[in-house]
Structure 1
Amino acid sequence: MDSLKDLFRGCILGTAIGDALGMPTEGLKLDEIKRIYGYVDDFYPSPDLKAGEWTDDTEQMILLAESIIDRVYFDPDDFADKLRNWAERAFRIRTGPTTRQALRNLIAGMQWDKAGVDSATCGASMRVAPVGLVYHFSINLVEKYAVISSSITHKNSSAIGGAVAVAVAVACILSDFNEDEMLEEVLKRTRTFDPLLADKIEYSMEIRDEGLDYAVEKLGNSIMTWDVVPMSFYCYFSSKDFYSSVTKGANAGGDTDSISAIAGALSGAKYGFKAIPEKWVGAVKDSSYLLNIADMLYDTHVNIVKITT
């Protein structure tokens, strides 16, 4: 298999696996997770989902991926349509409050550039990885599309900055930037939207040798972008493999599904599909479809590069 295709697969499967690992612990405190689970390193059920199932984080990531596959270049009208068509299901599952309001706005007939809500929750960051994958040949384009994709639901500057940070990080990883180079690019582009968020991402690298408890205390684990995104980067920077990155996210408490999903996207993009434990690949929901999505995103990327070179 092409090594780049393996990274696409790792990123997409990594998002879903991280989401599914963090799903049952979402909303719990770090010490509650320790008491109930010990240490989460496998899939568990929750009251509303079976073991290995994922949340709206992955569902929205798939919608974004499908839109990119359908349109080749990012089309906000198409993505907004897909979100609108998904709304009925979204209202039945644990979709975040900002996305719910944006969906109501879309249903009411608002155009995509008017529907977004001025909220700093992390919904735009957790789904954005496909943008970093497909367009990694141009980091300027990645930033542009991350901004637009966020604003359809989340038009707050922190939420947009988080989407930029994650998408740019994925793009840099696929472009063989080392960690320092990737961090520099992420900070430069994130700081334009939210200097505090950029500072916390930078700090997540500085404390990479500290334990998870310390990182949670210093970075936070709420649903807000300025907590989730830096915490995800900590999980990535402090780990030497995919397994460690996503399990840290699942055990961090708070918005564990989003933290682990983003950590899974970053570490999956770095280490690739082959580095993901087979037991998780076999047990995560719809793994075959996720692999197909990854392969179609890869083909879309290849076709764009052929056209532009």
Structure 2
Amino acid sequence: MIDQFRGCILGLAIGDALGMPYEGSDSVDLNELAFRDSPFGDLKAGEYTDDTEQTIMLAESIIETIYFSPENFAEKLKRADFRRRYGPTSRRAISRLQMGASWKESGVESDTCGAAMRVAPIGLVYHFNYSLVENYCSISSMITHKGRGAIAGAVAVGVAVAMLINEDFNLEELLGFVSKHDSFLAEKIEYAYEIRDKDERAAAKEIGNSIMSYDVVPLAFYCFFSSKNYVEGVKKAIKCGGDTDTAAAITGAFFGTRDGYSSIPEALRKVENHDYLLQLADKLYETYLKIASIVRK
């Protein structure tokens, strides 16, 4: 199972860094996956965006507190490096936190994807209880994103990661969790499954590839449903264009969780802070073991 924890965290970060140079493109012609400099000059090849930075903050918070603490996570968010392309919702919410707002007051009524992209550590550590994952994902979202679609997107990604680590992925059950928060997002994820045989450009047109949770979350699920392995899935996420870093990050987290770190080609492992991310994954696994030992009692 530790290989799955590593695969999830590194799979997310690598996907993020691979998708970073293409963010905002209508569509992408891509022959092979490779790290490249940002055309905007803001990030270098192999560097990640706020998707991974916020995932790291959430992971560190869980390791410190064992059970998810919104107060602790909110404190972590205050150290955000806005150079890493933080979206408008996250920037606004984090600015509120930095000015003294509590986590209950900081969230913005927005349905962008900032909560969904960072939530994988919750699915990893608390995978033994899907309802707990749902609850923690919902609370973690509200610190920055209070929109129903944003919360539903976080729940979708978190519960999917939990199911994948359990080798128990059940689309109908997943949609049940998601539809409690937003039925439209649940319908789009179901539709992503229905069109899994279509090519990525057609799928991107039908699903959408914007920064909205309603688009990028179902698009990442499409890339997962329609692909056989990490490389194929992440490549599709990038070729879809739009919010390429987030689509590739979520897709990478899904495949990394399902197939483990060992399934990610060695040539793609030279991501920024690789060794620290590996240590973080191991500490998340140790945190899960601590909780599991208590639960068994």
TM-score (norm 2): 0.97
Query: Deviations along 1:49-86, whole A, 9 cap, x unmatched?
Result: 111111010000000000000000000000000101x1
How far off its partner does 1:40 sit? 5.0
Contact kept? 2:48, 2:84, Cα under 8 Å: no
Contact kept? 1:40, 1:250, Cα under 8 Å: no
Contact kept? 1:168, 1:185, Cα under 8 Å: no
For 1:269, give the aligned amino acid: T
1:72 equivalent to 2:69? Answer no
Distance (whole Å) between structure 2 residues aligned to residue 40 and residue 29 of structure 1: 18
Q: Measured at CA, do residues 40 and 219 of structure 1 come closer, stay the same or move farther in structure 2, by a change above 3 Å?
A: farther
Query: Deviations along 1:241-300, whole A, 9 cap, x unmatched?
Result: 11111111122100000000000111110011000000111x211111110000000000
Q: In the alignment, what sits opposite 2:118? A: 127
Distance (whole Å) between structure 2 residues aligned to residue 82 and residue 40 of structure 1: 35
How far off its partner does 1:118 sit? 0.3
Q: In the alignment, what sits opposite 2:284? A: 297
Q: 2:75 aligns with which of 81, 99, 114?
A: 81
Distance (whole Å) between structure 1 residues aligned to residue 98 and residue 167 of structure 2: 41
Unaligned runs of 5+ in 1: none
RMSD of equivalent CA atoms = 0.9
Q: In the alignment, what sits opposite 1:48? A: 42
Number of aligned residue pairs: 294
Contact kept? 2:234, 2:252, Cα under 8 Å: yes
Q: In the alignment, what sits opposite 1:144? A: 135
Aligned partner of residue 159 in structure 1, secondary structure: helix
Distance (whole Å) between structure 2 residues aligned to residue 40 and residue 82 of structure 1: 35
Distance (whole Å) between structure 1 residues aligned to residue 103 and residue 172 of structure 2: 31
Aligned partner of residue 181 in structure 2, secondary structure: coil
Distance (whole Å) between structure 2 residues aligned to residue 306 and residue 176 of structure 1: 21
Query: Deviations along 1:173-201, whole A, 9 cap, x unmatched?
Result: 111214xx2x1122001111111110010
Q: Point out the more displaced range, 160-169 or 48-57.
A: 48-57
Unaligned runs of 5+ in 2: none
Query: Aligned ranges for residues 160-171 of structure 1 at < 5 Å?
Result: 160-171=151-162
Percent identity over paired residues: 53
1:27 equivalent to 2:19? Answer no
For 1:15, give the aligned amino acid: L
Distance (whole Å) between structure 2 residues aligned to residue 177 and residue 286 of structure 1: 31
Q: In the alignment, what sits opposite 1:10? A: 7
Distance (whole Å) between structure 2 residues aligned to residue 24 and residue 40 of structure 1: 14
Q: In the alignment, what sits opposite 2:31? A: 39
Query: Deviations along 1:191-227, whole A, 9 cap, x unmatched?
Result: 1111111001001111111110111011000000000
Distance (whole Å) between structure 2 residues aligned to residue 72 and residue 98 of structure 1: 27
4+ long deviations beyond 3 Å: none
Query: Deviations along 1:132-175, whole A, 9 cap, x unmatched?
Result: 00000000100000000000000111000000000000001111
Q: In the alignment, what sits opposite 2:102? A: 111
Distance (whole Å) between structure 2 residues aligned to residue 79 and residue 296 of structure 1: 17
Distance (whole Å) between structure 1 residues aligned to residue 100 and residue 61 of structure 2: 20
Distance (whole Å) between structure 2 residues aligned to residue 269 and residue 93 of structure 1: 25
1:190 equivalent to 2:178? Answer yes
